[in-house]
Amino acid sequence: MPDDLDYQIVHALQVAPRAPWGVVGDVVGVSPATAARRWERLVDSGLAWIVTYPGAAYLNTRCSAFVEVQASSHREALVERLAGDRHVATIQRTAGDGDLLLTVMVPDLGFLGDWVQCLAETEGVARTRTRVVMRVFGESERWRVHTLSDADESVLVEHRPEHRPLAHEPDEMDLRLIAALAEDGRRSAVDLATASGLSAPTVRRRLTALVAERVLSIRCEVAHVISGWPVTANVWARASSRSISALVDALDELPQVRVCCEVTGTANILMAVWLHTIGELSEFEQQLESRVPGLVVADRSVTLETPKRLGSLLDRSGCRTGSVPVVL
């Protein structure tokens, strides 16, 4: 199992996923070589990894949705098929109204309609229900394992691009760069240059712009078995415009929330939360309703297993076994 140093390295990369090993080593008190070696061991064991996926600003120009699936039969074959689909970012097996909850990212509503229709006609699918994402308020890149000080974080923040408004659509060269980065989010600029056909300075400049404009998100993920938060749940709520504003303001005080989105439907808020125990779900719902006047929890589900998370294929303990990157 990871020790304190491993957790410190993970925290450092959660703050700045592509920070140089020299900087990471200085923050955690070891040599660059030791920091890199420790990280490689975590990656090889599937306990931690760097993932890339479409950023919030880019998704706002495309279409994403949560699709609930009720399976009638052949569940394992269905999950295997969906895991290989590059439009399916995340698959959760849930205890709730549906058997599966899918996070789907596609070019537009027309594509989504065709994709869902195809899914509905797939053997083993009894019914589906789709909720289109309207806005993303919070995403998992702000989640931390909390082993470093605020002073340590301030050093690392210097190596993370500051967010700025989206200025341009990604072009063919950007897409080549993103594809080259998909398997390893810490791949060096020199390696990326070789794979994408660009120069290393161009790679650095374009990658900084893609992350700063939130076309591309890069973050450090950890397996559930070492996260300290082994339970995943999804909470659906109803909220007015005023309540949504209060919810956004309260997110920093709700560390359990990994993702928060406004979606279509009567229950117009979906939150993915990580918890220490199943019993904490009721406590979280009470905390949420007390902090956000007018918000009402409408439904919830508990995740039994996550076979795929943001393009990473996971075993039952949440360790990474492979990847099918999300198409951009």
Within a domain: 90: yes
In the predicted model, what is the mean pLDDT of residues 149-169? 92
In the predicted model, what is the mean pLDDT of residues 135-153? 84
Question: Looking at the structure, do residues 101 and 71 belong to the same domain, yes or no?
Answer: yes
**CATH assignment at residue 193:** 1.10.10
**CATH assignment at residue 108:** 3.30.70.3460
In the predicted model, what is the mean pLDDT of residues 208-213? 95
Within a domain: 36: no
Helices marked H in 149-188: 150-157, 172-181
What's the structural domain count of the chain?
2
Domain that holds residue 203: 164-213
Within a domain: 103: yes
Question: Looking at the structure, do residues 63 and 192 belong to the same domain, yes or no?
Answer: no
Per-residue pLDDT, 281: 96
CA 267 → CA 31, 237, 257, 314, 321, distances in Å? 50, 5, 17, 29, 34
Q: Is the pLDDT of residue 141 over 70?
A: no
The 3-class SS string of 1-16 reads: CCCHHHHHHHHHHHHC
**Per-residue pLDDT tens over the stretch 90-140:** 999 999 888 999 999 999 999 999 999 999 999 999 999 999 999 988 776
Kindly report the average pLDDT of the chain as a whole number.
93
**Per-residue pLDDT tens over the stretch 260-304:** 999 999 999 999 999 999 999 999 999 999 999 999 999 999 999
Question: Looking at the structure, do residues 262 and 318 belong to the same domain, yes or no?
Answer: yes
Per-residue pLDDT, 145: 86
DSSP structure string for 46-110: TSEEEEEEE-HHHHTTSEEEEEEEEE-S-HHHHHHHHHT-TTEEEEEEEESSSSEEEEEEESSHH
Per-residue pLDDT, 252: 83
Instruction: Assign 255 a pLDDT band (cuts: 50, 70, 90).
Output: confident
Within a domain: 22: no
Question: Looking at 110-114, 172-176, 200-204, which range is the least confident one?
Answer: 172-176
Single pTM value for the model: 0.93
Question: Looking at the structure, do residues 172 and 296 belong to the same domain, yes or no?
Answer: no
Q: Which of 241, 242, 237 is nearest to 257 (CA)?
A: 237
Question: Looking at the structure, do residues 86 and 206 belong to the same domain, yes or no?
Answer: no
CA distance 287 to 246: 13
CA distance 324 to 52: 11
Tokens of 167: 């200025």
Within a domain: 177: yes
Question: Looking at the structure, do residues 72 and 202 belong to the same domain, yes or no?
Answer: no
Question: Looking at the structure, do residues 129 and 247 belong to the same domain, yes or no?
Answer: yes
Domain boundary among 213, 241, 273: 213
Tokens of 129: 């229900």
**Per-residue pLDDT tens over the stretch 5-52:** 999 999 999 999 999 999 999 999 999 999 999 999 999 999 999 999
Instruction: Assign 215 a pLDDT band (cuts: 50, 70, 90).
Output: very high
**Per-residue pLDDT tens over the stretch 41-82:** 999 999 999 999 888 888 888 899 999 999 987 889 999 999
Reduced to 3 states (helix: H, G, I; strand: E, B; else coil), residue 41 is helix
Residues facing residue 323 across a β-bridge = 312
